[in-house]
A and B are shown apart, each in its own frame.
Chain A
Amino acid sequence: MSELELAVIIELLDRNGVVVSRHRCSELPVNIGRGYGNHVIVDDPFVAPTHVRIERRDDGVLVARDTDSRNGIHAVSRWSLWQRVTKPSTEIVLTPDTLVRAGHSTFRVRPVGYAVAPERLDKTSHGWEGMRPAIVALALLCVLGLFSAWSADTSTQENLLYQTSVATFVGAMLLWAGAWALLNRLFGGRARFGRHLLIGTALLVASLVTSFVAELLAYAFSLEWLSRYESYLSLALLSIAVYFHVATIMPLSLAFARRFAVALTVLGTATFAMYRYSTEHQLGDSLYMSSLHWPAVRMVAPTSTATFVDATANLKARADARRKDNAGSEEF
């Protein structure tokens, strides 16, 4: 083995498992401790002046050996949440992923020949940061605000209708994106406010367009269910937006973002359904298809009044079944 291959890198990690410093040591053994005579010096009051020695055993295995410290050394797993209280070991066999805790400090030892993951292809649009997405989002919000004001503009006395509407849309979205940017700053190190603003706005546009199209389809083909369960569609869209927000915060943990969004959808849908059932004894948003559209959109022929009225016999059966369903409130 060449000298290069024998060299090791000692990595000191913080509590989150992020590397704080790396020390290249070309020959073993290596001493780690608080004292200035060590190869790697650790400023930790719970670490002995000379706490641990990294050496190669006679059989060639790399080990960490406790050098008579008070607190000892422990092999720990990556997730400190599941950390069990262990007795200190005198000797720990080091694999490239073994974490060793001495006092409050954690380190890992890897050979210089350690194989790293291949380079990832960078798909980030570096141009779509900051002002550019923010401007697009604000422009979209203005359009939305103006459109919403226009559709409510049915009286000649509506002062400031357009201004108020735009301000409402912009203000609400700034708050939404602001919250995500704060999370991004906390967990991702930077805010990416413009991106979050665009994601939120895109969701809003998508949900408005989707619900309008759904209503139109429901009306055209008399699909009552499509209109009555529209809220569930909006919930699904919200989860998609949450996925993109989380993926923006943690671009390297897309799987986590996906799981988070799916869990949120399931939880949100179940909560909403339970709420609807407890208040109205039904799961839909409304009792009937409630939006009306252009006569030309309607694709189905109207039924006869006789057929329609006959269907109320089923309603009678359903109502009869419910006759005693809140009997708790009164004796029958």
Chain B
Amino acid sequence: MRLAEFLRLRHGMRSDRSGGVCRRAIAGSRAATACVLVASVVCAQGVAQTAPTATDIKPQELSRDATRIYERAKSSLFQVRVLTASGRSQATTGSGFVVGSGGLAITNYHVVAKLVLDPNRYVAEAVTASGERDDVTVLKIDVLHDLALIRIAKRRDWPPLKISSRALRQGERLYSLGNPLDLGFAISEGAFNGQITRPYYPQILFSGAINSGMSGGPSVDESGEVVGVNVSKRLDGEQISFLVPAQFVAALLQRGTAIAAQPSQQEFRSEIGQQLTTHQSMMADQLLKAPLATRAMGPYAAPINEMQGIRCWGDDPSMPQLKYHYSRLHCQNESVVGVEDALRTGFINVRHEYYATEQLDSFRFLQIYGKSYKNETFGSHRDRHRTGPECTDAFVKGDSQNSVPVRAVVCVRALRKFEGLYDFALMAATVDDSHSGLHTRMDASGVTLENGQRITKAFLDAIGRRP
């Protein structure tokens, strides 16, 4: 790709920010908790863009380093296109880079997810800057870190990039490469800002621009060695982007080099199932290693999923004209595992709502309190990825001294494609008072029966009055 064109494209991106790329997953200030992978997967979609008009073009001077690095890396760089098998029309685009001999290369899992999950309906191809095309097979996937090891079928002479293993310094210059929005190959400069510790899977915070379609592309240091793989960005921030650290690329490469051909759909499915199972058991163990933390909501103790990477947001929308008080607390995992566009799993979310009144009689208070308990959804059986909810409900009381009786309902949904994994949803309402009460909703997605039961029990046991 010619440099002039790259500049133009970059500019085109800027002017296009509001229109194209991604939508916020969660509206308002709560978007601060926005799911990173949600963003990234959305971004991976090829977005058909019209090229900006000539008047938009304002070439910017790139540093000479960038020119040098792009020149060096461009022959290892390619675009990954996932196409429908029948019409060969583009379903997803991303980027990738060569890491080893024999056409071994790396991209994001989410770029090739369609091919992995449905190899009968999708194929993939690699397209280089000079327009060469070649078929792509997927050898090994790492759903949790969002990486895939792929092989370029025939053209095995593309030079590999070297994977860096050194520690980076804060503020170090990094260059991110890829093909944003299917416009052409691009390089963008930014700074390394440390590894953030998401719940389990660390990522590099990169202060530079990454856009849709650059997913799976390499981020290199000044010497041209790969330090990370472009994966996602925050939609509510400016130039807040994330990279998968190179150490996981090295690990995947090591595990997958020996694989000769693309595993079958069934093999991939059980591989994903295993990775999700590992993930949920880590998650459950971390959550349950100590008694659940609680937050005060009125006189009640509201248990929360205090884990690394959890963000809790409180909200007290009680308006003065209401004759009752109402406040909310919800805690969400900042990262979820994205298996497919519509299948995000591997998280535990908690929401509490506290209702109380001094002015209202118990009849009217219970009407409001009951309506909110009634107004819960547990999903539909029409869901492609999950079965319909199967529920059971009862009056339940926890074991602890401060436990209060609750009316509780638990709904279980099976993940259709991944045997042994379920979504557990718990809804509980305290029933010890007629003028105040606490609603608790807990969702544990992608857990085994045993862990779902453990987590549900822990939450039920912890709901109570504050000592």
Contacts and interface: CB of A to CB of B under 8 A. Distances in A.
Interface of A: 150-157, 222, 224, 280-282, 286-295, 298, 300-306, 308-316, 318-320, 322-326, 329-332
A151 B367 contact: yes
Contacts of A295: 431-434
A320 B413 CA distance: 8
Contacts of B27: none
A280 B388 contact: yes
Nearest to A224: B393
Given A154-B364, A156-B321, A325-B387, A288 B413 contact: no
Contacts of A303: 394-397
B387 to A, nearest CB: 4
* Chain A contact residues: helix, strand, loop or mixed: loop
B31 to A, nearest CB: 29
27 contacts: A154-B364, A155-B321, A156-B323, A222-B395, A280-B380, A286-B374, A290-B370, A291-B370, A291-B374, A292-B373, A292-B431, A294-B434, A295-B432, A302-B394, A302-B397, A302-B405, A304-B396, A305-B398, A308-B410, A309-B460, A312-B456, A316-B449, A318-B412, A319-B387, A323-B387, A325-B387, A329-B384
A286 B374 CA distance: 9
B88 interface: no
B381 A322 contact: yes
Contacts of A286: 374
A294 B321 CA distance: 25
A155 B409 CA distance: 30
A294 B324 contact: no
A292 B323 contact: no
Given A303-B396, A314-B392, A322-B381, A292 B460 contact: no
B411 A287 contact: yes
Given A154-B368, A295-B431, A325-B387, A315 B395 contact: no
B89 interface: no
B364 A322 contact: no
Given A312-B424, A319-B422, A292 B370 contact: yes
Nearest to B393: A288
B22 to A, nearest CB: 26
A301 B395 CA distance: 7
B292 interface: no
Given A319-B387, A323-B416, A302 B395 contact: yes
Given A287-B411, A308-B410, 14 more contacts: A152-B367, A154-B368, A222-B395, A281-B388, A292-B369, A292-B407, A300-B395, A302-B396, A302-B405, A304-B396, A309-B456, A312-B424, A319-B390, A325-B387
B405 A320 contact: no
A298 B431 contact: yes
A288 B384 CA distance: 23
Nearest to B383: A326
Contacts of A315: 390-392, 410-412
Interface string B398-440: 1100000111111111101101001010010101111001000
Nearest to B391: A287
Contacts of B390: 315, 318-319, 322
Contacts of B381: 280-281, 322, 325-326
Contacts of B378: 287
Nearest to B462: A305
Contacts of B457: 305-306, 309
Nearest to A318: B390
Contacts of B431: 292, 295, 298
Contacts of B399: 304-306
B290 interface: no
A151 B323 CA distance: 12
A313 B331 CA distance: 27
Contacts of A292: 366, 369-370, 373, 407, 429, 431, 437
Contacts of B434: 294-295
Contact of A304 (B373, B374, B397): B397
Contacts of A326: 381-382, 384
A284 to B, nearest CB: 10
Contacts of B422: 316, 319
Contacts of A282: 388
Contact of B364 (A151, A224, A291, A304): A151
Contacts of B414: 316, 319-320, 322-323
B356 to A, nearest CB: 13
Interface in B66-116: none
B372 to A, nearest CB: 9
Nearest to A227: B393
Nearest to A317: B390
A8 to B, nearest CB: 71
A222 B392 CA distance: 12
A332 B364 CA distance: 50
A241 to B, nearest CB: 26
Given A155-B323, A222-B394, A287-B378, A310 B453 contact: yes
A227 to B, nearest CB: 9
Nearest to A287: B391
A310 B450 CA distance: 10
A326 B385 CA distance: 10
B120 interface: yes
A73 to B, nearest CB: 65
Nearest to B377: A287
B196 interface: no
B26 interface: no
A293 B434 CA distance: 8
Nearest to B389: A287
A185 to B, nearest CB: 41
Interface in B19-68: none
Contacts of A305: 396-399, 457, 460-461
A305 B394 CA distance: 10
A312 to B, nearest CB: 6
B322 interface: yes
Nearest to A154: B323
Nearest to B357: A154
Across the A-B interface, give the 5 residue pairs with the lowest CB-CB distance, nearest first: A290-B374, A302-B397, A319-B414, A315-B412, A288-B409
Nearest to B417: A332
Contacts of A318: 390, 412
B195 interface: no
